[in-house]
Amino acid sequence: MAGRRFTLSLGCPDALGIVARLSGFLAGAGAWIVEAAYHADPDTGWFFTRQTVTAESIRMDLDEFRARFAEIAATFGTEAEWSLHDSTERKRIVLLVSKEGHCLHDLLGRAATGELPAEVCAVIGNHRDLDPVARAHGVPFQHVPFPSDPAGKAEAFEAMRELVDAHSPDAVVLARFMQVLPPELCEHWKHRAINIHHSFLPSFVGARPYHQAHERGVKIIGATCHYVTAELDAGPIIEQDVVRIDHSYTIADMVRQGRDIEKIVLSRGLRWHLEGRVQVHGRKTVIFS
């Protein structure tokens, strides 16, 4: 509905005058800012910003704009990380699934209604159960069986990696994919592999979190969307949400209630990632939502 927009993201060591240099550059380029957010972290001395400008307001083409922004960014130190996103470039995602279909249904529904700003290139499952769901939405389903022996599993991950990488996706979404990624894949898809964990982390890491929550007698359950890292369920958290339960909830009730939270938290975190609203620094995230 809005016209073409460019979004600049920058993270660098905090210093005097960063905003002045950036905004001076943008004003010089005639850029009309429609969204701007800043954060300076006093603990790490790091500065973060995200700014969206209308493409039509800029007196140069994207390549020149990018080159000029790169020059500015270079003055903020060698550690500075930046990106420039064009709203007319469509993002691409691949979904990894197992047998549980609620997150798949949800993401495909959001993609179909245009809410999720991305093309779902493929759904890859270690079981065939969700093949019909993908096909009903016109998305190719690829089956990669996971044997239980380590060698076979390693081969399966290698096969999956090739299938995924063929799409050059902006996000690899573990939509209730029940396998633990090997460390080299975590590194390979660093800050692109996004998982939904069905607990309010760091509570109930690992398997069967609803069973753990039931056992502990908590009064609220939750879900956590995070980047995948080699340490299980310990990657940078993008989004969390919770829902109230009570003593009458069986594990089945918790599973059902939790699904709604999982779907919302995953879709919200994924959308922010795709819109360049997430900046990772160390094991934490800055979210310009």
User: Quick one: 20 or 151, whose CB is closer to a copy of itself?
Assistant: 20
With beta carbons less than 8 A apart as the criterion, state whether 194 and 226 touch: yes
Shortest distance, position 150 Cβ to a copy of itself, whole Å = 31
Helix axes 18-28, 62-74, angle to 10 degrees: 160
CB closer to a copy of itself out of 141 and 164: 141
Q: Give 193's strand partners.
A: 172
In the complex with a copy of itself, the residue whose CB is nearer, 16 or 151, is 16
**Encoding tokens for residue 204?**
């109930």
> Burial of 82 by CB count in 10 Å (0-12 exposed, 13-18 middle, 19+ buried)?
middle
What does the alpha-carbon distance between residue 69 and residue 78 come to, in Å, rounded to a whole number? Answer: 15
Q: CA-CA distance, 243 to 196, in Å (whole number)?
A: 16
Give residue 113's identity as a one-letter amino acid code.
T
Choose the catalytic residue: 233, 246, 253, 260. 233
* Least spacing, CB of residue 238 vs a copy of itself, in Å: 8
Shortest reach from residue 74's CB to a copy of itself, in Å: 19
SS3 4: coil
* Tokens at 258, concatenated: 């939790």
Closest approach, Cβ 202 to a copy of itself, in A, equals 5
131 is annotated as an active-site residue = no
Looking at beta carbons only, is 104 or 174 nearer to a copy of itself?
Answer: 104
Catalytic residues: 233
